[in-house]
Amino acid sequence: MLFIVTHCLILYICSDFLNHKITKLKNMSVIAVGTMAFDAIETPFDKIDKIIGGSATYVAYAASHLVQPIMQISIVGEDFPASEMDELKRRGVKMEGVEIVPGKKSFFWSGKYHLDMNTRDTLITDLNVLADFNPVVPESYQQAEFLMLGNLAPAVQMNVINQMKTRPKLIVLDTMNFWMETALDDLKKALTMIDVLLINDSEARFLSGEFSLVKAAKKVMEMGPQYLIIKKGEHGALLFHKNHVFFAPALPLEDVFDPTGAGDAFAGGFIGHIARTRDVSFENMKTGIIVGSAMASFCVEKFGPQRLTEITKRDIDIRLAEFVQLVNFDIDLV
């Protein structure tokens, strides 16, 4: 009996060790493409003139809690603080794919939130270095299996896909109304090259011309992506795949200070979870959108990406447990 127990224990340890080794050998790394920027933000309660922002910044901070390395592809001017780059590097974010342009300014975006904190107006978009962004995927990024295309011109997003020598296991694309209005043909082409599309409810309606989100989802998936995530701000997120749908709520928070970057933090949490588990099934994507919702809920608690830099693994675990509680109920069948 003792022999059997010992034998099983050894087998277990060996398989654990092997698993660990395999996990190390497998490539869980994520390429994150997007802006690294300065933002000016006005909410009904506060205002900040210059803060670090950008879609790839939020994605990297959120995803790096789950998986490393994150292989960043972006462009900044000489004004982007070296201290911010160092902080990201410290968190396992590789910067080889981030171009620093001497004598030029970083992308600048300014937005003002309405009283509901769910909707906002863009006040200023200064492309600056972004106007000439021609991303180059470094050789050292080529083995990455997960590609997160943050909000950018669809032509730039496609350029990155085309540079990948081996198609990543999962390609996720985030976009916004702006590109639907100004680069629809490019966006439609990009949609045929990806697996998961991330948009919000108004963007899904705009892109499909349908008011019903179920009809909108069908039409958008016919454009290419097998999976569609529709974010609904404080009302959670929907995941569609074929005829399946899954809903994840947003955590009801007492105070939302700044919703900027919530969508990108969601994307970072989602791709981080998928890459960490290396499982691209619909079932695992359900967990992915819960992890994404948790990262988004942290993001809105302070201005800019600051809260994402403060949280620990324990904070994330506690928050995930709160999400489970939020949707857990007993019911007797009638």
> Does 261 interact with ligand AMP (rule: CB under 6 A)?
yes
Amino acid identity at 224: G
Where does this chain touch ligand AMP (CB under 6 A) — which range of 32-40, 87-95, 220-228, 242-250?
32-40
In the list 77, 225, 263, 269, the residue contacting ligand AMP (rule: CB under 6 A) is 263
Looking at beta carbons only, is 260 or 297 nearer to ligand AMP?
Answer: 260
Quote the CA–CA distance of 333 and 49 in Å, as a whole number. Answer: 55
Amino acid identity at 270: F
Binding mask 184-223 for ligand AMP (x = CB under 6 A): ----------------------------------------
* Minimum CB–partner distance for residue 70 and ligand AMP (Å): 17
| Secondary structure of residue 104 in the 3-state scheme | coil
CA distances from 62 to 34, 191, 314 (A): 14, 24, 15
> Does 260 interact with ligand AMP (rule: CB under 6 A)?
yes
Interacting residues with ligand AMP between 168 and 187 (CB under 6 A): 178
10 Å CB burial of residue 156 (0-12, 13-18, 19+) is buried
Quote the CA–CA distance of 287 and 303 in Å, as a whole number. Answer: 27
Token couple for 170: 């999962």
> Does 54 interact with ligand AMP (rule: CB under 6 A)?
yes
* Minimum CB–partner distance for residue 168 and ligand AMP (Å): 21
Where does this chain touch ligand AMP (CB under 6 A) — which range of 19-27, 31-39, 276-284, 322-330?
31-39
Answer for the pair 36, 76: CB distance below 8 angstroms, yes or no. yes
In the list 32, 117, 262, 280, the residue contacting ligand AMP (rule: CB under 6 A) is 262
Identify which of 144, 174, 177 has the alpha carbon closest to the alpha carbon of residue 156: 174
> Does 264 interact with ligand AMP (rule: CB under 6 A)?
yes
Residue count at the site for ligand AMP (CB under 6 A)? 16
- Dmax of the chain from CA atoms? 74
Interacting residues with ligand AMP between 151 and 170 (CB under 6 A): 151-152
* Minimum CB–partner distance for residue 278 and ligand AMP (Å): 26
- 201-208 and 213-222 helices cross at what angle (nearest 10)? 60
* Minimum CB–partner distance for residue 264 and ligand AMP (Å): 4
Where does this chain touch ligand AMP (CB under 6 A) — which range of 13-21, 51-59, 91-99, 159-167?
51-59
| Secondary structure of residue 176 in the 3-state scheme | coil
How many degrees, rounded to 5, is the angle at CA 116 between CA 202 and CA 315?
95
Interacting residues with ligand AMP between 102 and 121 (CB under 6 A): 109
Q: Which residues of 319-328 are buried (b: 16+ CB within 10 A; e: fewer)?
A: beeebeebee
Contacting residues toward ligand AMP, per CB under 6 A = 35, 37, 39, 53-55, 109, 125, 151-152, 178, 260-264
